[in-house]
Amino acid sequence: MNILYLAIPIAICLGAFFLYSFFWAVKNDQFEDMEMPAFRILFEERKKETIGEEIT
Partner 1 sequence: MSVKQWDYSYLDSHDLRQHYMDPLDTLSMKFHVQGVKCGRCAEKIESLQSAFPEVESLRFNMANRQLLLGLKSPEASVARIVEAIEDKGFVLTPIENKNDLEKLNKKEDQKQILRLGVAATCASNIMMFSFANYFGASGSMNDLFNWLSFALYLPILIYAALPFYQGFWQSLKDRRLSVDAPMTFASVGGFLFSSFNLIRGQGSIYFDSLAGFLFLILLSRFLQRQLQKKFLSFHGEMPSESLSRARRLSEGQSLWVATENLRIGDHVLIQKNEIIPVDGQLISSQAMLSTAYLTGESEILLRLQGAQVMAGSILRSGQAEIQVTSLPSQSFFSQLVKQIVDQSQLQKRSGIQTLSDIWSQILLVSVFSIAGIFLAVNWQNDSQMAMERALALIVLACPCAMAFGTPLAISFSMKNAFKKGLLIRSPEVFEKVTQVRNVIFDKTGTLTGKKMRLARILPEKASQEQINMILSLENISQNAYADAFRAHLNSDLTKLLPVENLKEIPGQGVQGNYLGNSYELKAALSEVGPKGGIGFFKNGVQELVFFFEEEIELKALFLFKKLREKQIGLYLLSGDKESAVRAVAEKMELSADRWFSEVNPRDKAETVKKIPNAMMIGDGVNDSLAFQSAHVGVAVQGSVEMALRSSDIYLLSEDLIQINEIFSISHRAMRLIKGNLCISLIYNLLGGTAALLGLINPFTAALLMPVSSGFILLSTWWGSRQ
Residues forming contacts to partner 1 in the complex (CB under 8 A) are 1, 4, 8, 11-12, 15, 18-19, 22-23, 26-27, 31-36, 38-40, 42-44, 46-52, 55
Q: How far is the CB of 26 from partner 1 (least distance, A)?
A: 5
44 Cβ contact list (under 8 Å, min separation 6):
55
Asked if residues 23 and 16 have their Cβ atoms less than 8 Å apart, the reply is: no
Burial of 33 (0-12, 13-18, 19+ CB in 10 A): exposed
Q: How far is the CB of 44 from partner 1 (least distance, A)?
A: 8
Q: How far is the CB of 50 from partner 1 (least distance, A)?
A: 6
